[in-house]
A and B are shown apart, each in its own frame.
Chain A
Amino acid sequence: MGVCMTATLVETSYREAIGMALAEEMRRDSTVILMGEDVADAGGVFKATLGLKDEFGAARVRDTPISEMGFVGAGLGLAITGYRPVVELMFADFIGVCYDQIANQIAKYRYMSGGQTAVPMVIRAVGGAGLRFGAQHSQTCETWLLANPGLKIVCPSSPKEAYGMIKAAVRDDNPVLVLEHKGLYGNRGEFECGEEGLVDLKNPALVRPGKDMTIVASLAMVGRCLKACDIVAEKGIEPEVIDMRVLRPMDVSPIVASVRRTNRLITVEEGPRVGGWGAEVAAQITDEAFDDLDSPPLRITLPDHPMPFSAPLEDAVLPSAEGIAETIVALHEGG
């Protein structure tokens, strides 16, 4: 596991970036407590928390029973009594068994008490498709959480974002859901570590400047959109790519600014079409920049059925770089 004592450029995987961020925050703040299934002795099924129990001990790095409602609720109890829990959901899909704690309790706690307490809590949920895990272990669960005021929801698309977002989430006094993508865990990237590596949990961010259209994507779709841009570059098309990053509170102002220049919008998300964040972005852009749009906003999403298991079927369901490139070309030519 990487160690970073001063601000330095490091090169690690998304997985290691998560572990580094957690270790640094635990060193900095003794009230940070890690909990989750197999996070301690085994270091997590995806190995993001490997070695943390050895460094911080069994009191602060805790294996839990398979009991999400219990330990997510316990995380809330810790958060309102002086600790900063980081709770791992081994698969984001397990949000289904602790949704009451997230949506009814954690999200509304500060509000219902009239602001008597903060809820400094992080829930890391590992989602995403592409690993042949079937319908119940492949969802990003972005849409499940979108409708809950009181939560911050962030989606790291790279090692840099994973590192910076987790550090910032641990320091945030609000409940922050970090929706990680298991398909990105092996991806490598460079970033500044230490205090320089902290990122804000506020806005979408420009990741590739362009002029012909604005593409907004989250998680694994960011990388696929960048590849798609490489493909269409041969035809002289230059889309601008924005990483959605933060689903809640949603701030579309960078997207508005971009669309005012490019006059077209495509959203790309790994989730169902109805109720997705792309629909919300499209609606808000239509509200705020209708006159700047040369064509209706386009949404690339998953089709309206559960994720199949079989490899070619799963591949066919997920938006590919080639498929996104075709949409880009069609929109460019149509316009």
Chain B
Amino acid sequence: MTIQREFSNRSKQLCDDALIEMYRSMVTIRQFEDEIQRCFLKGMMQGTTHLCQGQEAVSVGAMKTLRDDDYITCTYRGHGQCLARGMPIDRTFLEILGRKGGVCQGKGGSMHLTDFSRGLLGSFAIVGAGLPVAVGAGLSAQLRGDGQVSMTFFGDGSTNIGAFHEALNLAAVWQLPVVFVCENNLYGEYSPLRATTTVDDLAVRAAAYDLPGYVVDGNDVLAVYDAIGDAVDRARRGLGATLVECKTYRHSGHSRTDPATYREQAEVDAWLARDPIARLRSELVEREILTIAQSEAIGSELLANMQEVSHAAGEAPWPDEKVMREDVLV
């Protein structure tokens, strides 16, 4: 089985409003992550966080393919997916700052964003751990028979841990409606992929389980939408799981303490030149869906809102102490 690199061009069917909405979603994620970073520098945020600037196209392109009743699992670098799925910005921000009103009542934090009302079944901070859980959600979907799909996001580093292989095998042998979305940002924490992995295209690993492996430009939101849309289609039609590798790049380091000095500047520059937001903007301007001025107005409008959300979160009270004793058992 070879890797598939060509996909249906379903993105051509997206109307102008849908495209503008995707653009707004990507800008929102970028601004959110930038604002979280600022909160760190200002000492407003504690612990650690894993930002996804540069990877917004994967989150937004993927979420656009899903129905409201589908299931999603994310990783500790999951802010983008949660926001793209519609997790409220204010309650997400409150959670990440550990304030009252956060989506998980301050008991999850940046690495465990969860919103069952939107099918966001959880963000997993142990590498690979979300994949088997998504397979279980896929089995649930299959048993129910309503055409639901389970989508799991994970990084390149996850493809070397056992849970990845066990999950792919289980999804394959039971022909489950699971879409495995690998965000290959070329680094597992501080280590370049080539130092830990012998293959360049991680999608080849699908072949070991007789599953289709897709490779797509993860910095092209419409290409992501096309490729993942095909995988979701397969899943809904009962044809089973797909491994989709989205080639992308994180603009920042692994976590807040990582300046990412292990990366060559030329490599960083090359990827910055392929910024997914700039690319979508160029395309929308070229297709006369958006003007430069309109795109700037969107940026300003969203930024003003983001700053308001951030300010309000910083002023919000801490959670009541009693919540820490709740929800251990039902």
Contacts and interface: CB of A to CB of B under 8 A. Distances in A.
Interface stretch (B57-65, B139-147, B190-198, B291-299): B139-147
Contact of A114 (B108, B132, B133, B138): B108
B134 interface: yes
Contact of A71 (B105, B129, B170, B328): B170
Contacts of B132: 69-74, 76-77, 101
B329 interface: yes
Interface string B307-330: 000000000000000010011111
- Which of A73, A76, A82, A115 has its CB near the most chain B CB atoms (within 10 A)? A73
A276 B79 CA distance: 41
A94 interface: no
Contacts of A76: 132-133, 136
B268 interface: no
Interface string A79-120: 111110100000000000000110011000111111111100
A67 interface: yes
Nearest to A120: B330
A15 to B, nearest CB: 27
A113 B137 contact: no
B128 to A, nearest CB: 9
Contacts of A293: none
A70 B108 contact: no
A309 to B, nearest CB: 28
- Which of B115, B144, B173, B328 has its CB near the most chain A CB atoms (within 10 A)? B328
Determine the interface band of chain A, counting residues with CB < 8 A from chain B.
35 or more
A75 B136 contact: yes
Interface stretch (B31-39, B119-127, B217-225): B119-127
B166 interface: yes
Nearest to B105: A114
Contact of A82 (B106, B133, B140): B140
Contact of B121 (A74, A80, A114): A80
Contacts of A109: 122
Contacts of B114: 112-114, 116
B286 to A, nearest CB: 42
A111 B107 contact: yes
B135 interface: yes
A75 B124 CA distance: 16
B166 A70 contact: yes
B209 to A, nearest CB: 11
Nearest to B121: A80
A179 to B, nearest CB: 18
B151 interface: no
B124 A105 contact: yes
A58 B263 CA distance: 51
Given A74-B139, A81-B71, A81-B137, A116 B328 contact: no
B162 interface: yes
B328 A149 contact: yes
A330 interface: no
A73 B104 contact: no
A65 B330 contact: no
A33 B137 CA distance: 13
Contacts of B11: none
A59 B144 CA distance: 11
A116 B103 CA distance: 9
B116 A74 contact: no
Nearest to A35: B139
A152 interface: yes
A80 B137 contact: yes
Contacts of B252: none
Given A73-B167, A105-B129, A81 B136 contact: yes
B26 to A, nearest CB: 27
Contacts of B327: 110-111, 113-115
B131 interface: yes
Nearest to B114: A113
A112 B104 contact: yes
Contacts of A308: none
Contacts of B133: 73-74, 76-77, 80, 105
Contacts of A115: 105, 326-327
Contacts of B106: 114
A110 B139 contact: no
B169 interface: yes
B254 interface: no
A25 interface: no
B112 interface: yes
B121 A81 contact: yes
Given A101-B132, A115-B105, A73 B112 contact: no
Contacts of B284: none
B104 A113 contact: yes
A67 B170 contact: yes
Interface string B137-169: 111110110000010000000000011001101
Contacts of B174: 62
A283 to B, nearest CB: 21
Interface in B12-69: none
B138 to A, nearest CB: 7
16 contacts: A67-B169, A70-B169, A74-B132, A76-B132, A77-B135, A80-B137, A81-B141, A83-B140, A83-B143, A105-B133, A110-B330, A112-B112, A115-B327, A116-B116, A117-B116, A118-B330
The 9 closest A-B pairs by CB, nearest first: A77-B136, A73-B132, A70-B166, A114-B105, A74-B136, A115-B327, A114-B104, A81-B140, A173-B330
Interface of B: 71, 102-108, 112, 114-116, 121-122, 124, 126, 129, 131-141, 143-144, 150, 162-163, 166-167, 169-170, 173-174, 323, 326-330
